[in-house]
Amino acid sequence: MNRSCKIDLEYPTSNERYTTVGLPVLDATVFIVVGFGGLSIIVALIHNALHRYFFKDQHRLDTVFDAGGRVTTSLTAVTVASQVLWPVDLVQTSVIATKSGLGTIYFYVVGLAMIIAVFPCLTLNFKTKAPGAKTYPQVVCARYGKASHILYCCIALATNLITITSMILTGKYILEAVIPGISTELSVLILVFLFGSYCYIGGLGAAFYISYFNTSLMCIALAVFSWQFLSPPDDLPEAVRNVTDIKTIYESVRCVKGPSLNAADSLLTFRSVSGFTYGVVAFFMVLALNCCDQAMWQSRIAAKPEQGVTGFLIGCFLYFSIPTSLALPTFLSYVSLSYQNGSYLLSQSDMDNGFITNIVMEKVLDTSGSYLLLMIVFMALMATGSGEVIAASSIIIYDIYKTYLGPFRKDCGAGCCPLCGVMKFSLGDKDRSYCQCIYSAECSKCVADVELCTSGRPEYQLHYQCPIHGEYRHYEDMLKEYKGWTIMWISLALIPYGAISGLIASIAALLIVAEVVHDAGLSDFFVTTSSDYSLLRGMHCWTFS
């Protein structure tokens, strides 16, 4: 390769944003809310009806958060792949590749696929050693006690908050890129509706089926984009053909200078130090996040050990194919367009926000590309966002309310039967009594109560007759009602959360700049906090948030 042809592309000198045709606000809003949200609600209602009237599902509290524990291999594979597939993977991978080179895409995707492949070992241990646990903090509580349990509940909720924040920001940037002029408030309302609507109705079981449906549509959309990119029609305009012509793309990208540590300063290489470093950092970062994320564990808990392990391995290969099929052509086309333009089409901030994907898809497919991008990104958003809402709800119900605020039996510790309050096993002490309660599946008096559960009546009309398990069934019905309120309030709390986080970031940035930039620091509070630099940084963080 001729190194002398390398040019170093610069970012645009003007502050004007590169504009695209975009979609009308009303049309795009209806497409998202009715198309995605409405269809998901219908699927959730059908799921509930099928499981109640055909499969005779009792629809207890546990089935809301583990889908009955009978999830198949295919559902596990698709759900694992869709929940690990954050929208950031779809729009940011091409951004990192533009800066570091082609190899970054594969280093990043391989790293995350390895994380999926590692989890079957953890899943197998979880299901065999703690088969009744619904959240991983419950295992911590049983093994290490109350103090560790409280700590890990805080860690789990903080992880959910971080993930949901990432989902909201990514969805907001995509909506701003595809729908010029859309307000932040409308963007957040759309995202909250998609996150909380169908999981409120169907719980984790509906989320599994909708993830299956979403992933299918995502793969169809990616297949359409890949086909249009690889086999464009002969009657395409010259401007569009330059985006999809492989020879033009190759000649353009090979002449763009990459990082100095890349082989031959090329973007078309796997020998990229920065790309490999990014992949390693992403591997450990995502691994730590996934291990602390209850949303990742609940998908594993819902399947039996055999189906869970097999589903994970299939999901590993499924995940590998999705980001690469979008990021690779997007990265190549954008760099080629920028080379022909003489500079990058986007400013650095717009590039970092992931607008590259929108530009390329609109160039290749016109307005249809914007709709396809919305479909691809929002399918991933719905799967991940709803999973986080259900995960936070399960921690609040199981680990906070059921353990500390309103337990069925207050004097019942770890290892005790919640029905009688006696230890479930003797722990080697032959003189100590232990639980003699029979299982509800073996209880003849529970037969009528089970039929009552599957009758479809509201919980307040159910009157259980079994003297051993009846009272606990009423307790779980109460928790199931609290579950619905918890999911609703968590979803609604995301609306003011965006404003509050922006306010906190703005005040923090203003105070930090006032202390660091000015010699007087915060000692001269009114002067330093009202300076141009302090106000600029504070307002920038407010606008960004």
The reported pLDDT for the residue numbered 186 is 81
Q: Is residue 431 part of a domain?
A: yes
Is there a single domain that holds both residue 299 and residue 383? yes
How far the first Cα of the chain sits from its last, in Å, is 44
Sequence letter at residue 296: M
- Of 130, 215, 211, 218, which Cα lies nearest the Cα of 387? 211
Who wins on pLDDT, 497 or 264?
264
Mean pLDDT to the nearest integer, 490-495: 76
Q: Is residue 523 part of a domain?
A: yes
Backbone angles phi, psi at 194, to 5 degrees: -70, -35
Is there a single domain that holds both residue 281 and residue 428? no
Mean pLDDT to the nearest integer, 178-194: 79
The reported pLDDT for the residue numbered 181 is 76
Q: Is residue 350 part of a domain?
A: no
pLDDT tens, position by position, 427-452:
555 556 667 777 776 777 777 767 66
CB 86 within 8 A of CB 382: no
Q: Is residue 240 part of a domain?
A: no
Angle between helices 87-100 and 103-129 (to 10 degrees): 140
Is there a single domain that holds both residue 437 and residue 518? no
Is there a single domain that holds both residue 387 and residue 479? no
Q: Is residue 429 part of a domain?
A: yes
Alpha carbon of 336 to those of 42, 226, 243, 366: distances in Å?
A: 43, 17, 7, 18
Q: Give the Cα separation of 137 and 150 in Å (integer).
A: 8
Who wins on pLDDT, 238 or 332?
332
CB contact set of 129 (below 8 Å; sequence gap of 6+): none
The reported pLDDT for the residue numbered 433 is 65
Q: Give the Cα separation of 344 and 329 in Å (integer).
A: 17
Dihedral (CA of 320, 322, 327, 329) sign = positive
Alpha carbon of 208 to those of 52, 65, 140, 198, 371: distances in Å?
A: 17, 11, 26, 11, 24
Q: Give the Cα separation of 86 and 82 in Å (integer).
A: 8
Angle between helices 367-394 and 146-178 (to 10 degrees): 170
Who wins on pLDDT, 242 or 68?
242
Q: In which residue are the tokens 């190759």 written?
A: 250
Around 216, how many Cα atoms within 13 Å sit in the side-chain half-sphere?
8
Q: Give the Cα separation of 404 and 146 in Å (integer).
A: 10
As a three-state string, the secondary structure of 151-204 is HHHHHHHHHHHHHHHHHHHHHHHHHHHHCCCCCHHHHHHHHHHHHHHHHHHHHH
pLDDT-derived band at 238 (thresholds 50, 70, 90) equals: low
Q: Is residue 343 part of a domain?
A: no
Q: Give the Cα separation of 165 and 130 in Å (integer).
A: 31
Least confident residue range of 37-46, 90-99, 194-203, 403-412: 194-203
| pTM of the entire predicted model | 0.78
- Of 248, 268, 246, 245, which Cα lies nearest the Cα of 258? 268
Q: Is residue 256 part of a domain?
A: no
- In the predicted structure, residue 509 carries a pLDDT above the cut 80: no
Mean pLDDT to the nearest integer, 499-503: 64
- In the predicted structure, residue 544 carries a pLDDT above the cut 60: no
Is there a single domain that holds both residue 430 and residue 500? no
Which residue(s) pair with 256 in the sheet?
A: 7
CB 80 within 8 A of CB 299: yes
The reported pLDDT for the residue numbered 436 is 72
Q: Determine the Cα angle at 333 with ends 241 and 1, to 5°.
A: 105
Mean pLDDT to the nearest integer, 357-386: 81
Q: Give the Cα separation of 450 and 443 in Å (integer).
A: 11
The reported pLDDT for the residue numbered 2 is 46
Is there a single domain that holds both residue 225 and residue 198? yes
- Cβ-in-10-Å burial (0-12, 13-18, 19+) of 386 comes to buried
DSSP state of 474: H
- In the predicted structure, residue 262 carries a pLDDT above the cut 60: yes
Is there a single domain that holds both residue 87 and residue 200? yes
- In the predicted structure, residue 386 carries a pLDDT above the cut 50: yes
Q: Give the Cα separation of 449 and 473 in Å (integer).
A: 9
Is there a single domain that holds both residue 429 and residue 475? no
CB 187 within 8 A of CB 374: no
The reported pLDDT for the residue numbered 348 is 81
Q: Give the Cα separation of 135 and 293 in Å (integer).
A: 10
Least confident residue range of 150-159, 306-315, 334-343: 306-315
The reported pLDDT for the residue numbered 1 is 43
Q: Give the Cα separation of 46 and 197 in Å (integer).
A: 14
CB 127 within 8 A of CB 304: yes
pLDDT tens, position by position, 11-66:
776 555 555 566 777 777 777 777 777 777 777 777 667 766 665 565 566 665 55
Is there a single domain that holds both residue 490 and residue 540? yes
pLDDT-derived band at 114 (thresholds 50, 70, 90) equals: confident
Is there a single domain that holds both residue 88 and residue 212? yes
Spacing of C-alpha 396 from chain mean position: 19
Is there a single domain that holds both residue 401 and residue 426? no
Mean pLDDT to the nearest integer, 229-257: 75
The reported pLDDT for the residue numbered 234 is 67
Dihedral (CA of 317, 158, 152, 419) sign = negative
Who wins on pLDDT, 152 or 217?
152
| Percentage above 70 pLDDT, the chain | 76
Mean pLDDT to the nearest integer, 171-178: 80
Who wins on pLDDT, 544 or 205?
205
Domain span at residue 180 reads: 19-234+272-325+371-405
- In the predicted structure, residue 425 carries a pLDDT above the cut 80: no
- In the predicted structure, residue 118 carries a pLDDT above the cut 70: yes
pLDDT-derived band at 175 (thresholds 50, 70, 90) equals: confident
Is there a single domain that holds both residue 27 and residue 136? yes
What's the token pair of residue 219?
Answer: 């793969």
Q: Give the Cα separation of 94 and 276 in Å (integer).
A: 15
Radius of gyration over every alpha carbon of the chain, rounded to an integer in angstroms = 26
Number of domains in the chain: 3
The reported pLDDT for the residue numbered 56 is 59
What's the token pair of residue 435?
Answer: 């639980």
The reported pLDDT for the residue numbered 3 is 47
Mean pLDDT to the nearest integer, 4-13: 75
Q: Is residue 199 part of a domain?
A: yes
- Of 191, 220, 221, 209, which Cα lies nearest the Cα of 40? 209
